[in-house]
Structure 1
């Protein structure tokens, strides 16, 4: 079998020693929480992720939950799994709808509900859910469940209405001046003049009101405010869901009320985290640990947004690659800005399987630094993948395959005994390769005719391949074509050395092969490709290029 499960992770002395010294970022984050409770742990350590359901969930949302799960697992290992932990995925669905998202239907209907809490705005997609907030919450939960995350879902609307925040809301009302002293310096002068952390829900229109307060009644637990249009005065309790908070005080209040121990957030929220931490302290509670990750960017370098719908959706990534490749992309360099578009997928797929293949050869120190250990909670599967994903893509490109049967004809010849039944993971990748090629590679293919020197090189390669046995492996093919390149002055790289001490081969040689033979700018090791595609078939490509038939 090529796929096997491993036994559950045992926290042996070797594992614990490696965990204590691991430089992998989830362990570094988990140590913050361990240090936080040097005097003794609470009954449950609470990890939180926040979600604004004003737009459809995107991969950035998934990334925050995936990364938080990795930190939680590292913490469980460091504490030998003796402490109860929980991830709370909190939806700010009581926020007012400030603008109509670009990527939803029934925009005119939504415009008539601007300002109302998201859980009071009708579902624009169908009548399946009672509100826009509920519809987007369902989508969030569906994709979290799809990945098997262990979490508890929380709705802001439900928590406010059930009184779970009442005690801390009354504390904020009591310490109103301290909160204002923190917030006002961060605001523009015009907004500071009318700012209040409390946002009453209008009893007649249902709109979340952003209005200055006329009076605070601490003993009564209420605020007095004036409707800016009618001039009518209203007194609203700050408890029971009649009022919510501005988002930064709301974030801080939630930390304080729920006892959140860890929450990460995007780099764009660094200043907001600092303000929320100060407000949390003003409420008498310790703010959580956490770190700020870099933002995800679309193909134009713009921040991806739920309301704009730019960048990749979860379903789009998963149409072209396995889920584990997405988890790997989230693990790697969380503090570096990363492009999140279709062209990052093939590399992520191959890197995942490369890390997976290395795992069994590593000691525990390196295993705990291997992304697959964190992706699979310490028990990565044992998978053999005889053909990399990038090579499959080039096989599709060269063969013009329309279905997986064609690809398996080449694969079985290249690796006798390898079948869809013996290698189901490879079979899954063939389907991904066909879809990815059809949608992204094929439309951009652009063959070019070889010049005279390139024709000489191709003819030489054709002759060299003809001298090899039909079953020559990728290494033999690679050496044969390199020998041809070394004899052509254009492709000699004198900064590199060949095995015989002469000049090496320039990158331009391989770029030429892929541009002329496959109509693309780059590809995997050419010898490996030719071995998979077949020497006779590769010679056929070369002949077609020389005859102007590609």
Structure 2
């Protein structure tokens, strides 16, 4: 059973009498959101889709956290210009301009968090996930958390005990699980609540509380409700579970470590708030070239960038084909994208009944589709071959693909091919290795002069083969070239290198048979004969 079907059935059984299942996920809008954050979106999004197919009513909330303090700045923004805003809630920080400097005065709908959060929301919509987008500040300001804040802060000693017992974090006797947005400087990362009587909090805005921001020294007393107060992360997470309430919410490997934030929030949820802990789906990291991605450090590609380099179905496939408990290691460069297309097409062949091995993988293709209820059968031309074809001047790609399919392309086939041609061009322009790129040389390359006599004889033999057999297919031609190579004293690298040097001026290139078939035969024959 494919993992999505398995987990969806587990959730379905866990909530047999629930009229509506609430699924939630979130991301802090601290900068450009990296592609790894889409893993959580995809896991929750496809499970919502699977549960709906099981006949359940589901709402998938995706929350953009815009209340956390700015405690670090992305490397692509002006550090000095943004320094005065460090410690303020992200929704109170100006959005950047084209120079990476603060722009206009922040408003509820135009601020740092909205700037980066909206970019990510667009990607979520582009991938077809039906998420109800909510902003943390709206929930705080509308008072949804008021009662839970009061409940969470009623027993600070018990909260401190949970922190110490589970994570080993020692909190002073004066510590309260609450911070206040300073009435004077507007910062929240620098404040400490020293007393809370159930209605008002006494707080200090400390100049030296943290290294990344400086408080103003103000001391005040204010109601923490309706957005003036903010809960610390582990307490806040538990409150968010209780307030909706949430039935299903997975989280990353780092949160689920022993003594980690999820374990602390679980205890707070049960022991302080008296609420149920959501069904958890722990998932592994999304790695970028073997390293964990970081939005603030600029490590890895952004979700927007990756969503523009491949069709949404392929990006969904990347996120869901691997079980949540296994890491995904992605690298834009090299042959990662061609191999991803190959994997996608293999799963498509299983779905359409063209292959019968590992039938569960057909479900990976199914859930990767934007509209699983309407999946047209179509021909998938191998991406690496399309990338090869677009580099051949004056080649009719449609006719070449029709040769491969054996019959005329359908409208669905042509649409799929058009998309692959467009993405192949972009891949070649921006991400492909030099090995995948080539250019037919209009004149004999200077490097061809270094070919030895046996290599030149090999080229003459191929020229004769082409003259005597003008209708050979790429596959047949490839086989014949191998026979010529075996009859010569050349090693494979020397033989095929001669072909590429003669036409491209480099030692490697596309698969020889299909490469020569795609080129003008007269041009190839004359080029090979001229090298003697």
457-466 or 376-385, which deviates more: 457-466
Deviation, 1:156, is 0.6
Change over 3 Å in CA distance of 1:514–1:294 after alignment to 2: farther
Bigger mean CA deviation after superposition, 42-51 or 454-463: 454-463
Q: Do 1:222 and 1:236's aligned partners in 2 also have CA atoms closer than 8 Å? A: yes
3-state SS of 1:268 partner = coil
Q: Which position in structure 2 is the counterpart of 1:160?
A: 140
* Secondary structure, counterpart of 1:241 in structure 2: coil
1:162 deviates by 0.7
Equivalent of 1:432 in 419, 423, 426: 423
Give how far 1:326 is off. Answer: 1.2
- Counterpart of 2:339 in structure 1 is 347
Question: 1:77-476 maps to which residues of 2 (within 5 A)?
Answer: 77=53, 80-81=54-55, 83-104=56-77, 107-125=79-97, 127=104, 129-185=109-165, 196-217=176-197, 220-229=198-207, 233-270=219-256, 271-282=260-271, 283-299=273-289, 301-333=290-322, 334=324, 335-343=326-334, 344-361=336-353, 366=359, 369-376=362-369, 378-379=372-373, 381-385=375-379, 387-397=381-391, 399=392, 407=397, 417-418=408-409, 423-441=414-432, 452=452, 455=455, 458-459=458-459, 462=462, 465-466=465-466, 469-476=469-476
User: For 1:521 and 1:118, how far apart are their aligned partners in 2?
Assistant: 53
Q: Figure out how many residues of one structure are paired with residues of the other and give that number.
A: 497
Q: Residues 473 and 517 of structure 2 are in contact (CA less than 8 Å); yes or no, is this contact kept in structure 1?
A: yes
* Greater displacement, 416-425 / 122-131: 416-425
Any idea what the Cα deviations from partners look like across 1:290-318, whole Å, max 9, x if unmatched? 3232323334x332222233322344334
User: Conserved in 1, the CA contact under 8 Å of 2:190 and 2:206?
Assistant: no
Change in Cα spacing, 1:514 to 1:171, as seen in structure 2 (3 Å) is: farther
- 1:363-401 CA distance string (max 9 Å, x none): 79926743111112643623433632101222334x257
- Equivalent pair of 1:296/1:340 in contact (CA under 8 Å): no
- Counterparts in 2 of 1:459 and 1:103: CA distance versus 1, 3 Å: same
- 1:50 matched to 2:26? The reply is yes
> Per the alignment, in what secondary structure is the counterpart of residue 206 of structure 2?
coil
Unaligned 5+ runs, structure 1:
1-21, 492-505
Supply the RMSD in Å over aligned alpha carbons.
3.8
Could you tell which deviates more after superposition, 358-367 or 303-312? 358-367
Tell me: CA distance 1:540–1:86, structure 2 relative to 1, closer, same or farther (3 Å).
farther
Q: Tell whether the 8 Å contact from 2:159 to 2:268 is kept in structure 1 after alignment.
A: yes
Provide closer, same or farther for how the CA distance between residues 47 and 353 of structure 1 changes in structure 2, counting only shifts above 3 A: same
TM-score (normalizing by structure 1)? 0.78
Aligned to 2:483: 483
1:154-213: per-residue Cα shift (whole Å, max 9, x none)?
111110111111222222112433322222356677876875431111111111145544
How big is the shift at 1:518? 5.7
TM-score, length of structure 2 as denominator length:
0.80
Q: Give the Å deviation of 1:118.
A: 1.0
Corresponding residue for residue 19 of structure 1: none
Matched residue of 1:86: which SS?
A: strand
Q: Which of 86-95 and 371-380 deviates more?
A: 371-380
Shift of 1:97: 0.9
Deviates more, 1:526-535 or 1:415-424: 415-424
Listed one character per residue, the Cα deviations across residues 136-167 of structure 1 (whole Å, up to 9, x for unaligned) are 23222222222332110111111011111122
Sort the Cα spacing of 1:359 and 1:227 in 2 relative to 1 into closer, same or farther, 3 A.
closer
Q: Contact conserved, 1:458 with 1:542, CA < 8 A, in 2? A: no
Is the Cα–Cα contact under 8 Å of residues 465 and 539 in structure 1 kept in the other structure? no
For 2:217 and 2:466, how far apart are their aligned partners in 1?
91
Tell me how far 1:471 sits from its aligned partner: 3.1
Q: Secondary structure of 1:286's partner?
A: coil
Distance 1:337 1:314, change over 3 A: closer
Pairwise CA distance, 1:516: 8.2
CA contact (8 A) 2:8 2:47 kept: yes
Per-residue deviation, residues 435-479 of structure 1 (Å, max 9, x unmatched) = 322334476659986865982795387257426633323332232
Instruction: Report the counterpart of residue 441 of structure 2 in structure 1.
Output: none
Q: Which runs of 5+ in 2 are unaligned?
A: 98-102, 208-215, 439-444
The answer to whether the 8 A contact 2:455-2:494 is kept is no
Return closer, same or farther for 1:520/1:322 CA change in 2, 3 Å cut-off: farther
